[in-house]
Amino acid sequence: MVGITSYGAYIPKWRLSLEAFSRGKGEKAVAGRDEDSLTMGVAAALDCLNGMDRNSVDAVFFASTTSPFKEKSVSATIATVLDLRRDVLTADFANSLRAGTTALKVAIDMVKAGSARNVLVVAADCRLAAPGTVLEQTFGDGAAALLVGGNGTIAEIGGYHTVFDEIYDVWRRDVDLYVQVWEDRFVYTRGYLRVMREATSKLMEEAGVNPQGLTKAVFYTPDVRRVVELAKGLGLDPKAQLQDPLIGTVGNTGTAHALMLFVAALEEANPGDKLIMASYGNGCDAFLFEVGEAVAKLRGQRRAVKAHLQSKRMVPDYVTYLRWRELVKMPEPRVPMAVSYPSAVAIWRERNRIFPLHGVKCQVCGTIQYPPQRVCVKCGSKDSFEEVRLYDRRGKLFSYSYDFLRGTPIGLVNLEGGGRIFCELTDVDVKELKVDMPVELSFRRLDLWRSDGIYGYFWKAIPVRA
């Protein structure tokens, strides 16, 4: 009974109207200025693990073509944020939009082989297309996460087929900022349509299912017209059987896309449903899943795709978006807010305070304190603390302000169950700010003036997302 035991997703709050920069209709989800594939991956992972036993997670995979690092493990960062055991296997899958489903295949095989009880698969992407191109209209940012296990599966694996394919259709070289694409006709006829059809039809054949027997087909979608063409060609009814590809609302989220659509399908699925899911990128990974009774227990327990879709704010204009992605060169601020550089040593030393947001609880008087102290601020006891993870707690805004120069709101947040955090506020309209506003914590990238080659990550407060 190996399959999916939990799911989660993350869609940034920010949406960019396609009308703002193109003749396209609708909108796409874009990462905020303090978000990247790592932070979105963390958010999806947290959604997926909500209420799950973290001690039985034996591996964490992260898949992306837009990791903030060419050399540094994001899966290790995610495992640190999640407070997982030290002996968890972590691996990053990269360089192909298929990386997410490849990680899923490895996860399924590990659980089948008994080398892991549960494997967390996280995929996120934040791809850049050249401003003004058609590609830019379809790209969106987001993340998805699946927990693979052998107990309590909500969707059991029923079949798998893969093909690989050597082709320059969509690619990005090591020196490229933007994704490149060859001529449309070639890309679809010799690439996407041919390879997706090959893998999915072979999967159906091997699994002994016919198109009419499928409840939903979940296909990676670079273009709505083409996915409809693909579905029709396979004998599927696109209206009834094709999972909404979220183009025009979220966009093509790259490595995360097929997984994110699969999560959306699971949110609506009923026991007995048969789902086919296929991703594309120099080949195709295709899976068949049968939905089990347990699918009902996660309903309403995840933000996944549905809730995230509804919680949104428009990016004010296209220039703002270009500045967030650093696609327009802005003058450097003349006065740094801080002259000191981030120290790798200090980040390492403070890793428990930073990544899983550990504070301390005084074992004498019970006061929760952040950042961790040696001497209790309340009772003066020395070194009698236990570490407590604070990011799962919601809180209320105790005080706030923002300055006109940076415009970044900051504030003190009092957490439910004790503890106070001094942090930046993000994804918020400063006009909404008021004392006692309900907030939650979100892992974000810091805007370091002089980074010295380091990306700083830390928790910020956001208004609770519905």
Partner 1 sequence: MPGVRDKVAIIGMGCTKFDEHWDKDVKDLVVEACYEAFEDAGVEPKDIQAAWWSSVISGLLGRSLAYPLKLNYLPISRVENRCASGHDAFINACYAVACGAFDLVLVCGAEKLKDVGLAIPGIIDPGEPYTSRVKPVFPPPAAFAQLAIRYFHHYGIPIDEGKRTLAKIAVKNHYNGSLNPKAQFQRRITVEDALKAPIIAYPLGLYDCCGITDGAAAAIITRADLAKNYRDDYVLVKGVGMSCGMYQAEIQDDWSMTYIEENVRASRMAYKEAGIENPRKQLDLAIVHDCFTITELVIYEDFGFSPRGKAKEDVDAGTFELKGELPVNTDGGLKCFGHPIGASGLRMIYEAYKQLQGKAGPRQVEIRNQLALTHTLGGTPVDSNTAAIAILGLRGA
Determine how β-strand 180-181 pairs with β-strand 170-171: antiparallel
CB of 47 to partner 1, least distance (A): 24
Q: By C-alpha distance, which of 434, 452, 432, 436 is closest to 394?
A: 436
Q: Show the binding pattern over residues 140-179: x = contacts partner 1 (CB under 8 A), - = does not.
A: ----------------------------------------
Distance from the Cα of residue 29 to its chain's centroid: 12
CB of 231 to partner 1, least distance (A): 47
The first and second tokens of residue 100, run together, are: 């997410």
Please, which residue, 24 or 342, has the CB nearer to partner 1? 342
- Which residue from 415, 428, 437, 439 is in contact with partner 1, where contact means CB under 8 A? 415
User: Which 328-367 positions form the footprint of partner 1 (CB under 8 A)?
Assistant: 333-343, 346-347, 349-350, 354, 367
Determine how β-strand 14-17 pairs with β-strand 313-314: parallel
The first and second tokens of residue 194, run together, are: 């041919």
Check if the beta carbon of residue 404 is closer than 8 Å to that of residue 441. no
What stretches of 317-378 show up as alpha helix (H) in DSSP?
318-324, 344-349, 351-354
Please, which residue, 206 or 452, has the CB nearer to partner 1? 452
Cα separation, 396 vs 420, whole angstroms: 10
Which of the ranges 128-136, 147-155, 228-236, 372-380 carries the binding residues for partner 1, by CB under 8 A?
A: 372-380
Is residue 370 near partner 1 by the rule CB under 8 A? yes
At residue 44's C-alpha, the angle toward residues 193 and 266, to 5°, is 55
- Which residue from 21, 182, 318, 402 is in contact with partner 1, where contact means CB under 8 A? 402
- Which residue from 430, 432, 438, 464 is in contact with partner 1, where contact means CB under 8 A? 430
Check if the beta carbon of residue 274 is closer than 8 Å to that of residue 158. yes
Please, which residue, 291 or 354, has the CB nearer to partner 1? 354
Is residue 387 near partner 1 by the rule CB under 8 A? no
CA distances from 344 to 77, 248, 444 (A): 14, 41, 18
The first and second tokens of residue 320, run together, are: 């703002």
Q: Show the binding pattern over residues 295-334: x = contacts partner 1 (CB under 8 A), - = does not.
A: --------------------------------------xx
Is residue 212 near partner 1 by the rule CB under 8 A? no
Number of residues binding to partner 1, judged by CB under 8 A: 54
Is residue 373 near partner 1 by the rule CB under 8 A? yes
Which pairs with CB-CB distance under 8 Å and at least 24 residues apart come from 69-75? 69/455, 74/37, 74/38, 74/41, 75/122
The first and second tokens of residue 61, run together, are: 């995979």
CB of 452 to partner 1, least distance (A): 9
Determine how β-strand 142-149 pairs with β-strand 438-445: unpaired
Half-sphere CA count of 355, side-chain side, radius 13 A:
21
Q: By C-alpha distance, which of 391, 385, 352 is closest to 368?
A: 385
Please, which residue, 145 or 423, has the CB nearer to partner 1? 423
Cα separation, 405 vs 400, whole angstroms: 16
Is residue 442 near partner 1 by the rule CB under 8 A? no
Please, which residue, 272 or 380, has the CB nearer to partner 1? 380
- Which residue from 25, 85, 382, 406 is in contact with partner 1, where contact means CB under 8 A? 406
Please, which residue, 316 or 456, has the CB nearer to partner 1? 456
Check if the beta carbon of residue 336 is closer than 8 Å to that of residue 449. yes
Is residue 371 near partner 1 by the rule CB under 8 A? yes
- Which residue from 399, 432, 438, 464 is in contact with partner 1, where contact means CB under 8 A? 399
CB of 350 to partner 1, least distance (A): 5
CB of 348 to partner 1, least distance (A): 9
Torsion 99-182-11-194 (CA) sign: negative
Cα separation, 151 vs 118, whole angstroms: 9
CB of 83 to partner 1, least distance (A): 17
CB of 397 to partner 1, least distance (A): 9
Q: By C-alpha distance, which of 114, 130, 122, 106 is closest to 41?
A: 122
Is residue 69 near partner 1 by the rule CB under 8 A? no
Cα separation, 48 vs 97, whole angstroms: 21
CB of 357 to partner 1, least distance (A): 11
Determine how β-strand 274-280 pairs with β-strand 283-291: antiparallel
CB of 320 to partner 1, least distance (A): 20
Which of the ranges 178-186, 202-210, 303-311, 405-413 carries the binding residues for partner 1, by CB under 8 A?
A: 405-413
CB of 74 to partner 1, least distance (A): 17
Please, which residue, 208 or 336, has the CB nearer to partner 1? 336
Q: In the complex, which residues of this chain contact partner 1 (CB under 8 A)? A: 333-343, 346-347, 349-350, 354, 367-371, 373, 377-378, 398-406, 408, 410-412, 414-415, 418-420, 422-424, 430, 433, 435, 446, 448-449, 456-458
